[in-house]
Structure 1
Amino acid sequence: MKKQFIFLNLVLITLFISCKNKEEAKPVEEVKANTFDVIVDLKIEKDDELILFYKDPSIAYFDAKNTVYNGVKGKPESQQIIFSVPEGILPNDIRFDISSNKEQNPITINSITLSFEGRVFKIAQKDILKYFTPNDFIKFDDSTGTATFFKKGEEYDPYFLTKEIIYPQIEMVRGVKM
């Protein structure tokens, strides 16, 4: 009987210590990288994949290696899509591929925001054409912020390139002294 009592006490003490240790263990929060972000507030009705191409001073042209893909679920209301450039890379130029879905409805862009380490530059809907140029697959109405897409035969590649006027703003967000 004494052996059973000791065994039972050992089991209870082990359980008590085990449970106490579990309560004290706190989940480790994942530290989010401090990334250069491009936040696009838009209304997109059909699922799509949007792509942000970026260059830094060491890259001469946009290529598939320097991209951030973002699969988007279509919704009837506006949503924010965040493109985070990999940590340690500070782009000096971007290209925004606004649709990969050949059946996409017109998309309304409400704003585009560049952000890094608390420095922010927000481009309002009315100023999008001041900072970006749509390619030949897009007709953009700056009064409504609506991008309508066109196919050229089987080709479909709607994107916006930056204009030179945005470069000082990108440098300011990057924290580069001019």
Structure 2
Amino acid sequence: MRKKIIFACLILLVGFISCKKEDNKNLTQPAEVETNKNNFQVTLTATVKADDNFQMYYSQDDYEVPYKEENSVWVAVKASDKPQDIVFDLPQDVIPNYIRIDFGTNQQQKEITISNFKMKYYSKSFEAKDSLFFNYFIPNDCVKILDKNNSVVQNIQPQDGRYDPLFYSEKALYDQIQLLVK
């Protein structure tokens, strides 16, 4: 009789432990995050020496000014002495015609060196390395180009006190976007 009780307890214990392991297995595995690698992606590779927040606005229509806040993506940027990728993932099914990149809100920002600009859509991509960036973007009056050959810019505050350093895309970038999405 004692053997039967011990055997029954052993079976219950094994059953309980195996159920517990299954529950723990589900808890320890990270939840799968659904990511769509087919959305339109813009990557700015730059050396940013102070923490900041960059913002990219996009227009799906003809050139629309002013850009709308709801048509923008924010990216936090950590300070680094090395080039880093600042990746703007646009919402699914959004294909921009024109974009605007705001180069931060930190008024203490140091010089920024632009190494590369890349757009990706499905398996197609377009890149503009180093100073070729300036063939596709125009700075506003809050950005001073310190060294065009080495793609070094400085955010500045004009006399009117505004601080809004940004680059508007040119028609040449619009043309590249159209080639990318065909």
Deviations 1:146-173 (A, max 9, x none): 1112112431001000111111101122
What runs of 5+ residues in structure 2 fail to find an aligned partner?
none
Deviations 1:91-142 (A, max 9, x none): 1110000121111001000111011101100011121221110111111232
Which one of the candidate residues 44, 51, 68 is aligned to 2:48? Answer: 44
Match of 2:154 in 1: 148
Is 1:166–2:168 an aligned residue pair?
A: no
Secondary structure of the equivalent of 1:147? Answer: strand
Return the alpha-carbon distance in structure 2 between the equivalents of residues 149 and 108 of structure 1: 11
Deviation, 1:3, is: 2.7
1:47–1:72 CA contact under 8 A, matched in 2: yes
Deviations 1:3-50 (A, max 9, x none): 343123222133235536866997663231221111011000000010
Which moves more between the two structures, 139-148 or 47-56? 139-148
Which moves more between the two structures, 153-162 or 104-113? 153-162
TM-score, normalised via structure 1 length: 0.88
2:115–2:151 CA contact under 8 A, matched in 1: yes
Alignment root-mean-square deviation, CA: 2.2
Superposed, 1:1-178 pairs within 5 Å as: 1=2, 2-16=4-18, 18-19=20-21, 29-33=32-36, 34-57=38-61, 60-61=64-65, 62-140=67-145, 141-152=147-158, 153-173=160-180, 175-176=181-182
Return the alpha-carbon distance in structure 1 between the equivalents of residues 113 and 40 of structure 2: 23
Return the alpha-carbon distance in structure 2 between the equivalents of residues 163 and 17 of structure 1: 61
Return the alpha-carbon distance in structure 1 between the equivalents of residues 93 and 142 of structure 2: 33
Deviation, 1:52, is: 0.2
TM-score, normalised via structure 2 length: 0.86
Runs (4+) of structure 1 exceeding 4 A deviation are 20-28
Secondary structure of the equivalent of 1:65? Answer: helix
1:128–1:142 CA contact under 8 A, matched in 2: no
| Alignment: residue pair count | 175
